[in-house]
Structures are given as C-alpha cells and as structure tokens.
Structure 1
Amino acid sequence: MAVERVVTRRNLFRYAAAGAVVASGALAGCSRTGTADSGAGGQGLLKQAKERGYLTVGFAGEAPYAYKEGGDLTGQDPAVHREIWTSLGIKELRGVQVEFGQLIPGLNAKRFDVVAAGMFILPERCAQAKFSAPVYVAPQAFLVPAGNPKQITDFPSVAKSGITLGVLPGSVEASLGKKQGVTKTVEVASQRDGLSALKANRIQAFALTSISLRNMLKDNPNSGFELTEPFTPVVDGKEQIGAGGAVFRNESDELRMAFDRELAKLRESGKLLELIQPFGFGPETVPPADLTTEKLCQG
C-alpha cells in the first residue's frame, strides 16, 4: 500500500513534544509516570494512585474523544474516566499526549497508567494490551467535498474511485481501508491536518468515525465539506463493529476490573449517556449489553 506521511513544521513540533504531561488544568513536562504495576496481576497500582491523588492517562488529542481545551483535558473519554476514577477515590487525571500510534507502546513503556483516547477494541490491539468493557460504539464515515462528487459510501467504493484517502497513523480506518482494497492513502497526524489536506486537494476524502467528523464540521461550518452516510464496514462477510474502550497494561488487572465495575454502574443508571452526550454521542452510541470485549478481541 502506498502511504505518504504528512510532516509539517507543526507536526515536527508535536513529535518532539509528544509525551508532555497535560494536567487537568496545566502542563508539566514528564517522560514516565514514575509508578509500576507492583505485585501479581498488577496489584498495587490502584492503591498507589489513590495515595498520590492522581492517575495518568494517555490521549492523542482527537476531538471529541480526548483533547485539550484551554489547557484542560476534556472529551468523551476523560469525562467517563474522571467520573469513574473519582468514584474510586482518585481525584485528578493527568494527561500525557502522544501520537495515536504511540498510545499502546507508551502505555506498555509505563509513560502513563491507562489510555483514554476512544481507541477501538481490535484483535491486533488486544494482543498488546487489555481493554475495558466497551464504553461506546461508533460507525465509520468520510469527510468529502460538498456534493460527494465521487459518490463514495464505504471503503470498497473509495478503492474503486481511485481517490486518495486521508487516515490517522495507526488508526482502524487505515487498517480497514487496506483490507478492502484502498491503496492510495496519506497519513495525517491530526484532524486539523486532515482538513488542511482536504482543502489542498492532497486527499479527496478523510476517514474517521462519524462522531469525530461530525464534530469537525460543527467546528468548521463553512468548510465546503460534508459527511457521508455513516456505515459499518464489512470484511469477509462480517460486520466490523467499531467500539472503543479504556486500555490497560496486561499486568494491570486490578485497575481494569475496578474500571469495569464502575462502568457497569454508569450504564445501568443511565449516567453514562449523560456524561457523553455533551460531546455529540447519542443513545445509539451506548454499547448493547451483548457486545463484549471478548467478542471484539476475537474479531
């Protein structure tokens, strides 16, 4: 697959600055969390976080999942994480921003304790780390020029059209596109870079979840682009349901199970929907009860 990586002055600065710690209201330089998963099964990290009063979370700066606004860490995932960890006696979230493709490597290198970035639960990722129960579901879509001149509706139609598709590095969209015959792609480091590439006609469509793209259009109402109809990709006759969750190191079972217990309470009470609605998530994005991490990890 021919892939061109977009590198601008702004992106070079982001690469150099990746790993900067974004506290809930301030920035502070840091390269590691300074903590470890002690004991069998990661016993001890939850206690450590309670004692020090904060937990570090990795995020990639993708709205509306997890991003900075006025220096504060916000978005759908931080809102859920903040509610859960507060209920467990951890009062502060400290964000560590890295490129999306570096979230799991950074987690396993102990640069942060958990990933809160709207990351899809996929078999290849499950082989590298452990996911929580699904926090949300989201269909795919494309951002295209107004009128959708190439009439693209899914990844096979992108492949057939011959257009160049913009994707985030390490994203599920990049993987799905490749599996369905898309050979002309450009990696863009952020949503903003994707929009810039569209405006410059370096790409003719930008692939993300419908939630992310709808948020982009809300912030850029006069961009001259539109959202295609959301869809669920089908690979080898099987629907590829997009569902995201929190990500933990393999040895952080105690932390993950505590998160799952509190997440179940939020779903049962209806509080989960209340937390994510301000970020463009609706009732249809709350995972169905029969959708499990085990199923998603199996593919």
Structure 2
Amino acid sequence: MDKFSRRELLVGGSRLGLLAGATLAVPGFLTACGGQSSTSSTGGKLAELQAKKSVRIGVANENPYGFVNSNGEVKGFIVETLAAVLAPLGITTLDPVVVPFDALIPGAASGRFDLIAGGTYIRPERCQAVSFTNPVYRSGGAFLKRAGEDVPVHSLLDVAANPSVRIGTQTGTSQVAEIEDAKIPSGQVVKFGADNESVAALKAGRVDVIYYPSLQAATLVSTNQGAIERVTPYTQIMKDGKPVFNYGALAARLDDTDIIDALNNGLKTIREDGTLKKIFATYGLTEDEIPEASVTAADLCK
C-alpha cells in the first residue's frame, strides 16, 4: 500500500461517494469583525474562506471522525471540533466532500477540498504532502466491561498478572500482537471475528473485558448504550517510560499555513475553555483522547 494508506485504526462507516448539499451550518456565530476586508486583500486561504463564510471539508464517512448521517447532516467529533474553531472566524458553513480514506490527503493536496476533517494520523511522510495542525486527538487502547460491574484490571499488564481474568479482542488486529507482547497466557485470551461478536461475548459473560483502540471502543459504547462501558482509569502500553499513542489532526494544503495557524490558535482556545472536552464527550470520548498540549505537529513530522 502507498504512503497514504489507511491509518492503523479503522472505525467502520459506509461509503457514500461525493455528497452534494450536505452541510453543517453553525448557529449562534457571526462573521468575524474588523479587518476581514483588509485581510482578504492579502489573498491568503484564511481570508478566502472568511469571505465565503464556508469551507469544503474532506471526510471519509467514518463514525466517530467525520461522516454524513441518514438525514444528510455532517457529523463527527473532528467535524464539530473544526466548526467550533472556525465559527469565531466567521466561517460558519462546512460543506463535506466524502471520499475514501486514502483519497483524503491527495484531495487536500490537489485543492479538491480545503481541509481534511477525517481521522488522519500525523506521520512524517504525510507531512511532505499536507500541512497538519497540532493534534486534535490521540488514540491508544481501551478496555470495555459490562456496565455497572467492577473489574480488577486497568492495563494489559494487570491482565497478565491476574489468571482469573479473560480478555477478548478481534482477530487480525494489532491488539492481538499487543496482548502477546504483554505476555498474557493464551488460555486467558478469546479472539473474535468482529467487534460485535466481542461485545456479545462480553455481555454474555464469556470474557471479563474486551480490548480495542480507544476511539473504536468509544463507538462501541455509544452503539451499546447502557450495556457496556469503558474501564477507567486505563494505563496505556509504555515505551521508554512513556505511553504509546497515535495522534490525529486537521490538515490543509502545504501552502495554506495561514489557516493552519488560525486553526492551531482556535484549538488552543477550545482546549483551555473546556469546549473540546464537551465535544468529545458527545461522542463517548474521554480526556484520555485529548492530546498533551506539549505535543505538536512539528514534533510528529520529524
């Protein structure tokens, strides 16, 4: 696969192709005031979008990142994060262009759309094709358990140390290798062909916890409300004394650094005022998915 292949984490979503007319209009915000006209004269991307009050966004139609629902509304925690950042700038309409995941970066680079609002990890090779904002989210692993029940494990190492605990995960995923790396005996591990099979086994008591990427886990919780929940706190896999995460962000054409700078400023604001946390909670995400403020795109692009 080429360097723009799917990220390691995949949360299912149907393919819709190019959708015309599906928009997200953000109520309650007015056009940015003051120097909009003089800014437009500079010809930068930010000024262009402020003049139009709208932006074309590339999404891969994947829940919970960015997708168009059955009512033609564009949704997703990344989309809503972007809307919250752009609204104070006077950009209040988001027009989605739905493409396969591996067409997101080429689409932004070629100008097919203005911004990527899908679940795109920052990778050094991708930084050669598009400009990334600082991370919007981070993704590690997560345990799910039956709602209302206590479990004595909060990490893979806890499972390895407790022979009475049975853990489930999905065949063919990186989680299988991570379980093996944690030296969890095979007798404690149950593998399933699909995530819904894992959830069914968890509900039936065949396993005590199931192990998935954190964003996929959040989606499973939202689609099985009241039946399962995340194990908190959860300790991520450690490497060199630090937890291992993947970091996802918004992205634009390489030349559009003015919009990237504006987005970074906005992301900082909504992180500090609690808006980002509220948006994440709407999609079942927790503070564990909010990246450290010290991690930047510049660091991850090296």
Q: Is the 8 A contact 2:169 2:176 kept in 1?
A: no
Q: Deviations over 1:54-106 (max 9, x none)?
A: 10111112212212232111111111111111111111001111111211011
Q: Deviations over 1:134-180 (max 9, x none)?
A: 1122213599xxx546798945257788x9998xxxxxxxxxxxxxx
When structure 1 is superposed on structure 2, of 273-282 and 229-238 the one drifting more is 229-238
Q: Deviations over 1:205-244 (max 9, x none)?
A: x996312233134314699x99899775668998542221
Give the counterpart letter for 1:68 in structure 2.
V
SS in 2 for 1:58: strand
Q: Which residue of 2 aligns with 1:23?
A: 22
Q: Is the 8 A contact 1:154 1:231 kept in 2?
A: no
When structure 1 is superposed on structure 2, of 55-64 and 237-246 the one drifting more is 237-246
Pick closer, same or farther for the CA change 1:234–1:43 going to 2, 3 Å: farther
1:1-299 paired onto structure 2 within 5 Å: 14=15, 18-21=17-20, 23-24=22-23, 43-69=43-69, 70-140=71-141, 148=167, 154-157=175-178, 209-220=213-224, 232=236, 240-298=244-302
Pick closer, same or farther for the CA change 1:22–1:76 going to 2, 3 Å: farther
- Cα distance in 2 for partners of 1:276, 1:286 equals 8
SS in 1 for 2:301: helix
Q: Is the 8 A contact 1:121 1:293 kept in 2?
A: yes
Q: CA shift at 1:25, angstroms?
A: 5.9
Give the counterpart letter for 1:95 in structure 2.
P
Root mean square deviation of aligned Cα: 4.2
Pick closer, same or farther for the CA change 1:109–1:258 going to 2, 3 Å: same
- Cα distance in 2 for partners of 1:95, 1:273 equals 24
- Cα distance in 2 for partners of 1:94, 1:115 equals 12
Q: CA shift at 1:264, angstroms?
A: 1.3
- Cα distance in 2 for partners of 1:221, 1:45 equals 41
Give the counterpart letter for 2:50 in structure 1.
K
- Cα distance in 1 for partners of 2:60, 2:21 equals 11
- Cα distance in 2 for partners of 1:208, 1:77 equals 20
Q: Is the 8 A contact 1:133 1:292 kept in 2?
A: yes
Q: Which residue of 2 aligns with 1:6?
A: none
Give the counterpart letter for 1:133 in structure 2.
N
Q: Is the 8 A contact 2:140 2:244 kept in 1?
A: no
Q: Which residue of 1 aligns with 2:34?
A: none
Q: Deviations over 1:29-73 (max 9, x none)?
A: xxxxxxxxxxxxx95222222222210111112212212232111
Pick closer, same or farther for the CA change 1:246–1:257 going to 2, 3 Å: same
- Cα distance in 1 for partners of 2:283, 2:273 equals 19
Q: Deviations over 1:186-215 (max 9, x none)?
A: xxxxxxxx658989xxxxxx9963122331
Q: Is the 8 A contact 1:55 1:92 kept in 2?
A: yes
SS in 2 for 1:23: coil
- Cα distance in 1 for partners of 2:170, 2:220 equals 20
- Cα distance in 1 for partners of 2:275, 2:225 equals 30
Q: Aligned pair count?
A: 240
Tell me which structure has the larger Cα radius of gyration. 2
SS in 2 for 1:123: coil
- Cα distance in 2 for partners of 1:271, 1:226 equals 23
* TM-score of the superposed pair, with normalisation by structure 1: 0.64
- Cα distance in 2 for partners of 1:109, 1:157 equals 37
- Cα distance in 2 for partners of 1:231, 1:120 equals 21
Pick closer, same or farther for the CA change 1:273–1:158 going to 2, 3 Å: closer
Q: Is the 8 A contact 1:131 1:293 kept in 2?
A: yes
Pick closer, same or farther for the CA change 1:74–1:151 going to 2, 3 Å: closer
Q: CA shift at 1:258, angstroms?
A: 0.9
Q: Is the 8 A contact 2:133 2:250 kept in 1?
A: yes
Q: CA shift at 1:20, angstroms?
A: 2.9
* TM-score of the superposed pair, with normalisation by structure 2: 0.63
